[in-house]
Amino acid sequence: MEYRNNDPGAVQYGNFINYYEFNNAEQRLKLLPRDVWLETENIPSAEPYLVLDVGCNAGDLTQLFYKFLNECVGVPRNRKIQILGIDIDEDLVQRAQIGNECAPNVSYTRLDIMDATAFEEVNEYLRQYNRHSFDVVCCFSITMWIHLNHSDHGLQQFLQKLSGIGDLLVVEPQPWKCYQTAVRRMKRAGDEFPLFSELVWRSNVEECVQKFLEKELGRKKVFECLPTRWQRRICFYR
């Protein structure tokens, strides 16, 4: 867990140690719809419903999401829910593993999604089920951290990579004011995001993400939740 000047909010990758104390997992889950998770009724019931949760933090939301999907898809459609939660922070992943009440249906691993070699672990997970894609790929409030650390091109690569392995993509992009807060906290702690000044996707970053997914990656927005208490929109793309 790396944060600067004893400020747990001054983190490079959004790896907040107390994230769920100020961003309640139950409240976010209440905003999710129950009828968008399946595109067709013709999927064999014996095939597991695979989910990738990118940036799972300590796993609080991941485990609640498993129970939620089990109610929406698992029991009604006789589908076994399997979730792989990944995060860049080893300490957070360890906490998720220790507190995992849903094993073996939910598993966690430390992984940098932007590292090509590490990403092979995700593909290996799919191969275990003889699959090429997940039914759902979720990235709740992590696009900003990819953006700040990997530039516009890096965020585009990230979205393209997830689109390539997910049938339904759930994205909760942070608005520009969150970028400004993250940069300000790092600056107070004597550090910075070196690529921040180079970003072209700026004040309209949420719109840029949507246009890229729709126009460049051929995705269609099928649902948008009411804004969270942080005024973020959870968007669903097929």
Walk me through the domains of the chain, giving residue ranges and CATH numbers: 19-237 (3.40.50.150)
Among the residue ranges 73-77, 119-123, 153-157, 229-233, the one predicted with the least confidence is 229-233
Note the pTM of the prediction, 2 decimals.
Answer: 0.94
Side by side, which strands form the sheet with 106-110? 106-110, 81-87, 49-54, 134-140, 166-172, 235-237, 221-224
Percentage of the chain beyond pLDDT 70 is 94
Tokens (6 digits) for 80: 């076994």
Helix (H) or strand (E) holding 138: strand 134-140
Helix (H) or strand (E) holding 91: helix 90-98
Tokens (6 digits) for 16: 């907040």
Please, which residues bridge with residue 53 across strands?
85, 138
Say whether pLDDT at 15 is over 90. Answer: no
Q: Hey, is 235 helix, strand or coil?
A: strand
Mean predicted confidence (pLDDT) in 183-197: 94
